[in-house]
Amino acid sequence: MASAQLPSVKVADKAAWARWLAQRSTTSHGIWLTVAKPKAHTTHPLTSLTYADALDEALCWGWIDSRGKRVDETTMTYRFTPRTAKGTWSKRNVAIVERLMAEKRMHPPGLATIEAAKADGRWAQAYDQANIEPPADLVEAIEADQNAKAMWDVLTKTNRFLICMRLQSLKTAEGRRKNIASWVEKLAQGKTPQPQKKRPEYEDASLADTTPKAAAFPAARPSSRRASRTSIKDDPKSGSQCMTVSVRFYYTTPKRTSSPEKILYIRSLKLPFARASPTCLSVGHPGHFSAF
């Protein structure tokens, strides 16, 4: 199930979270769980559950945490889901689970995920997120492509970790080769696992970030302007007659001069009107009026 479709859950405390998992851990596809920030867990009116306690209980029942999002000054929300059959293990979670086992807090669903990981080698391959090193074959392939190397050099730690982790989870040499080739191609195009602001200074300007910016209004200068007298009325403030003029600005696309004109925008102006002499109107872009 997509992250956006997962329900949000708020529980009062650690015990309530444990009860929720006991009742729903085998049937739920996942949730967004609200937790209190460390400095607010003793005073928050809705929950005293901290992230550390939430993770402990989740691991006991075979669940795993994922990304988190800030809710407000005192709370965060984290995605918790059942661990998948091929889900990788971090050394941090291995250490937590070993502590939970020593404390005899693990439940059958959690123990089953451990046995499965030990059986297929994922337990022994647990990664260290803080100190993960890119494998030699990945580095060699990236350095062979100048543009991929430029992007790799400015990657955030999170994006480097995600690439290395996904590569580490592959079982076959062919799958690993294809994955490396795919990442080299993506990096050369400036693509990353997660969006990031920092970009390399490519020698090839066509590879630089060319995300279109919102154009300032109006997007085009008018190719013609037409004014029409729409009404003449008495102005109660001045005691004289005023003429309301509606001016329509038109434009044609520069590359398609044969296309019909389209209205770009409309401006209206109220001017003094003298019956004895004509009123001349000068209209400039974008809508500057002067009467003489």
Coil vs helix vs strand at 90: strand
Task: Give the residue among 213, 229, 221, 214 at the shortest CA–CA distance from 264.
Answer: 221
Question: Do residues 267 and 289 touch, judged by C-beta distance below 8 A?
Answer: yes
Q: What global pTM score does this model have?
A: 0.53
Q: What is the pLDDT along the chain (292 residues), one digit of tens a residue?
A: 556 688 999 999 999 999 999 999 999 999 999 999 877 656 656 788 999 999 999 999 999 998 788 888 888 999 999 999 888 888 889 999 999 999 999 999 999 999 999 998 888 877 766 667 788 899 999 999 999 999 999 998 888 888 887 887 777 889 889 999 999 999 999 889 888 888 887 555 455 544 444 434 344 444 555 555 455 566 666 666 666 655 555 554 444 444 444 444 445 555 555 443 333 343 443 433 333 2
> What was the pLDDT predicted at 140?
92
> What was the pLDDT predicted at 68?
85
Between the CA of residue 9 and those of 31, 32, 42, 128, 273, what are the distances in Å? Answer: 7, 6, 19, 30, 68
Coil vs helix vs strand at 266: strand
> What was the pLDDT predicted at 289?
38
Nearest-angstrom CA–CA distance, 55 and 83: 12
Question: Do residues 52 and 14 touch, judged by C-beta distance below 8 A?
Answer: no
Give the bridge partners for 283, in sequence order. Answer: 289
> What was the pLDDT predicted at 290?
36
Coil vs helix vs strand at 7: coil
Q: Which residues, in sequence order, are CB contacts of 179 under 8 Å at separation 6+?
A: 166, 167, 170
* 111 phi/psi in degrees, rounded to 5: -65, -35
